[in-house]
Structure 1
Amino acid sequence: MPERLSIRPATETDVPIILSLIQGLAEYERLSDEVIATDASLRQTLFGEKPCAEVLIGCVDGEPAGFALFFQNYSTFLAKPGLYLEDLYVQPQYRQCGLGKALITSVARIAQERGCGRYEWTVLDWNTPAIQFYENLGAEMKSDWRIMRVAGDALAHMASLAPAA
Structure 2
Amino acid sequence: MIRPATPADVPTLHTLIRELAAYEKAPHEARATEEQLHEALFGERPAVYAHIAADDATGETVGCALWFLNFSTWRGVHGIYLEDLYVRPAARGAGHGKALLTELARLCVERGYQRLEWSVLNWNAPSIAFYEALGARPQDEWTVYRLTDGALAALGGAGRS
TM-score normalized with structure 1 length: 0.93
1:10-159 matches, within 5 Å, as 10-60=5-55, 61=57, 62-159=59-156
Distance 1:50 1:157 in 2: 28
Q: CA RMSD in A?
A: 1.3
Q: Percent identity?
A: 47
> Cα deviations across residues 20-54 of structure 1 (Å, max 9, x unaligned)?
10011011110101011111111111111111100
Q: Report the CA distance between 1:10 and its aligned residue.
A: 0.3
Distance 2:26 2:159 in 1: 31
Aligned residues: 159
Q: Which runs of 5+ in 2 are unaligned?
A: none
Q: Does the C-alpha gap of structure 1 residues 162 and 89 become closer, same or farther in structure 2, counting only changes over 3 Å?
A: farther
Question: After alignment, is 154-163 or 77-86 more displaced?
Answer: 154-163
SS at match of 2:45: coil
> Cα deviations across residues 110-140 of structure 1 (Å, max 9, x unaligned)?
1111111111000000000100100000001
| 1:3 counterpart residue number | none
Show structure 1 runs of 4+ deviating over 6 A: none
SS at match of 2:62: strand
Q: Report the CA distance between 1:161 and its aligned residue.
A: 2.9
TM-score normalized with structure 2 length: 0.95
Q: Does the C-alpha gap of structure 1 residues 108 and 163 become closer, same or farther in structure 2, counting only changes over 3 Å?
A: farther
Q: Report the CA distance between 1:163 and its aligned residue.
A: 8.2
Q: Report the CA distance between 1:162 and its aligned residue.
A: 6.3
Which residue identity is paired with 1:44? E
SS at match of 1:156: helix
Distance 1:109 1:134 in 2: 16
Which residue identity is paired with 1:129? P
